[in-house]
Structure 1
Amino acid sequence: MSKAPRILRALRRTTLQAVPTILGIVILNFFLLRLTPGDAADVLAGEAGAATVETLAALKAKFGFDLPLLQQLAGYLDNLFHFSLGQSPRYNQPVADLIAARLPNTLSLMGLALGFALLIGITLGAVMASCVGRLPDRVLSVLALLFYSIPSFWIGLMLIVLFSVKLGWLPSGGAQTIGAGLTGWDALVDKARYQVLPAASLALFYVAIYARLTRGDMLEVKAQDYVRTARAKGLSPFAVTTGHVLRNALLPVTTMAGIHLGGLMGGAVVVETVYSWPGLGRLAYEAVMGRDFNVLLGILLLSSLLVVAINALIDILQAWLDPRIEVR
């Protein structure tokens, strides 16, 4: 089967599966968040310091919190069908505007972290598989175990202490130099400096996973008959490793990368809070503290859509890497 029909079948299958999945996620998230004690009206009344019972009741009526739960759900689903994520009680802005303002920062951070994790993890895994049982393999295995075991927030704090406090090479937080007025290339470089530490903190955990996964899969692929045939044909060890072993070993790695996108978004909540990075993770943390459920539901919905879209791309990538995979 040619590549184009396979891609179309993958997209069709993903679309048919995504609609009920997303709807189920929205309904489940709605009910789970409503189990949380309090709401945005309670938080706003508490921050006011002198709110009366009448004021609190007026706030709940204004935001619709006094309505029955099923009626609130029906109203939220109606907003979604009209392509609206509702209004944020805390920020008094449309949720879509809040997310749109923070989304580019989170996507750039996640993309940099995932790219760093894949590049370094696959490279280390290939080195470990090539030097199996020897000193480089053992040293890198210990490092991978450490990166896997240490929480991302602790890694973030240690990176700040080393590279910001001790060495002074990189900024400890924020997204850009305030008041610098940089434009063009200088502004891009300045923003990249602020992304290095958060992206590294977010990526190191996944570097360990991809390194161990690549190592194990390459060792398994090396024992296959077609690899021995490639060696018998006189191909160089580098050509055999890159063209036959590594390419087939990448299938499980790409699958795990798609699965880990949700984890990246969850990890961004901690990392963005540690580094004061103005992204969706920090917005989600602020929404939790303010009981701003509309913002949380919008972020969770966007995360679900992102994971579904990336999984569709992973299916297509796997079909390209291995034509033997049949897309149904």
Structure 2
Amino acid sequence: MSSSLPGYIGRRLLQLLPIALLIVLTTYILMRLAPGDMADVIAGESGAATPEYMAQLRSQFSLDLPAGTVFLNYLRNLLHFDLGFSFHNSMPVADLILQRVGPTLVLMLTSLGIAATLGVALGVVSARYRGTWLDEVISALSTIGFATPVFWAGLVLIVVFSVHLKWLPSAGMSSIGGPPVTTMAGLLEHIRYLLLPALTLSFFYLAIYVRITRSAMLEVYGMDFVRTARAKGLSELRVSLKHVLRNALLPVVTLTGLQLASLMGGSIVIETIFAWPGLGRLTFDAVFYRDINLLLGVFLFSSLLVVVMNLLVDILYAFLDPRVVGGRS
């Protein structure tokens, strides 16, 4: 594996360029096909929509140039690591992304950690006690998780824990003038603000982890090496955790890689509901204000982030099953 893994990583990294180019091109075409542009948004906000003013705005934002010319200029700037300027926010796009990527990563990784930890644990219990009332309860809860829309779950959590019980805040990342996150008080406050959006985003994925883990565990339970381990006199707990769970984790790791992109997409809805200051909310604002430079920058960065995280998942998969790299090299 040691000789094959670097080559495998190198091939995956080379795939970043065409993937990023395709995403940027697709996003640009869709934004150009959508009705209206940034000039229409600004003119509507200012209440002045004379033909002269509209022409001035389109000239200022280079919207009067041919679409191909604008796209080629954008690609030329990308070669110099310049993502452009967000005219709505009056800031470089790169600075805006760097400000928002931290909250989004915290939300995504926390949600993924909750879903994976609880999902795998409940899946193991469900498989271990197959056919009992405990298995039936866990299966029913996972079915509810599949069927519940994420935005509805978020609104219900807000009503219950913020409006009625008043235990947790309903929006934002911290209170105005609150303690810095570097202090213990500030960290605890950020955790309080993080709980509801993270639980909401993890709700659907937790149900998937339960089902996948349960199915994988039941499949491994029927294999010969498990019966051999039992014949040696090993306890059922040791058989389940050391022999069955380790082999059942392979499809779970694969599922984690597939969920990263959908987590990024789901964060747009969650960040809008809970006013979470991340890339999802930034994407929503970019679409609303037709800020093409900002939208292209966010999509490019998000796609690269998802690809890199999938690469890390593949590396973890290779360590769990060394045959993977050997088969792909």
Q: TM-score range by the shorter chain?
A: over 0.9
Cα distance between partner residues in 1 of 2:256 and 2:38: 36
Deviates more, 1:14-23 or 1:283-292: 14-23
Aligned to 2:219: 220
> What amino acid does structure 2 have at the position aligned with 1:144?
S
Which string of whole-angstrom CA distances, capped at 9 and with x for unpartnered residues, describes residues 112-146 of structure 1?
00000100110111111111111111111111111
> What amino acid does structure 2 have at the position aligned with 1:139?
V
Aligned to 2:317: 318
Aligned to 1:106: 104
Q: Secondary structure at the match of 2:15?
A: helix
Aligned to 2:230: 231
The aligned runs of 1:232-247 (5 Å cut-off) are 232-247=231-246
Aligned to 1:201: 200
Aligned match for 1:171, one of 158, 169, 172: 169
Is 2:119–2:208's contact at 8 Å kept on the other side of the alignment? Answer: yes
Is 2:119–2:206's contact at 8 Å kept on the other side of the alignment? Answer: yes
How far apart are residue 318 of structure 1 and its match? Answer: 0.9
Which string of whole-angstrom CA distances, capped at 9 and with x for unpartnered residues, describes residues 135-176 of structure 1?
111111111111111111110110011111111111111111
Cα distance between partner residues in 1 of 2:98 and 2:176: 21
The percent identity for this pair of structures is 51
Is 2:260–2:310's contact at 8 Å kept on the other side of the alignment? Answer: no
> What amino acid does structure 2 have at the position aligned with 1:160?
I
> What amino acid does structure 2 have at the position aligned with 1:218?
M
Aligned to 2:190: 191
Which string of whole-angstrom CA distances, capped at 9 and with x for unpartnered residues, describes residues 182-214 of structure 1?
551111111110000000000010000010000
Aligned to 1:77: 75
Which string of whole-angstrom CA distances, capped at 9 and with x for unpartnered residues, describes residues 36-92 of structure 1?
111111100111102321111111111111111110110111111110111112112
Cα distance between partner residues in 1 of 2:16 and 2:225: 37
Specify every segment of 5 or more residues in structure 1 that has no aligned partner in the other structure, as ranges. none
Cα distance between partner residues in 2 of 1:246 and 1:143: 22
Aligned to 1:143: 141
Cα distance between partner residues in 1 of 2:103 and 2:42: 28
Is 2:116–2:209's contact at 8 Å kept on the other side of the alignment? Answer: yes
Q: Secondary structure at the match of 2:41?
A: helix
Which string of whole-angstrom CA distances, capped at 9 and with x for unpartnered residues, describes residues 249-293 of structure 1?
111111111111111111111111111111111111111111112
The aligned runs of 1:219-298 (5 Å cut-off) are 219-298=218-297
Aligned match for 1:17, one of 15, 18, 34: 15
How far apart are residue 222 of structure 1 and its match? Answer: 1.0
How many residue pairs get matched? Answer: 326
Cα distance between partner residues in 2 of 1:203 and 1:6: 35
Q: Secondary structure at the match of 1:268?
A: helix
Structural RMSD (CA): 1.2
Cα distance between partner residues in 1 of 2:30 and 2:283: 15
Q: Secondary structure at the match of 1:263?
A: helix
> What amino acid does structure 1 have at the position aligned with 2:223?
Q
Aligned to 2:47: 49
Q: Secondary structure at the match of 2:172?
A: coil
How far apart are residue 320 of structure 1 and its match? Answer: 0.8
* TM-score, normalised relative to structure 2: 0.96
Cα distance between partner residues in 2 of 1:228 and 1:73: 61
Cα distance between partner residues in 2 of 1:160 and 1:324: 46
Deviates more, 1:19-28 or 1:121-130: 19-28
Cα distance between partner residues in 2 of 1:245 and 1:270: 37
Cα distance between partner residues in 1 of 2:225 and 2:29: 52
How far apart are residue 324 of structure 1 and its match? Answer: 2.6
Q: Secondary structure at the match of 1:170?
A: coil
Q: Secondary structure at the match of 1:266?
A: helix
Cα distance between partner residues in 2 of 1:33 and 1:208: 35
Is 1:121–1:209's contact at 8 Å kept on the other side of the alignment? Answer: yes
Is 1:10–1:315's contact at 8 Å kept on the other side of the alignment? Answer: no
Is 1:45–1:51's contact at 8 Å kept on the other side of the alignment? Answer: yes
* TM-score, normalised relative to structure 1: 0.96
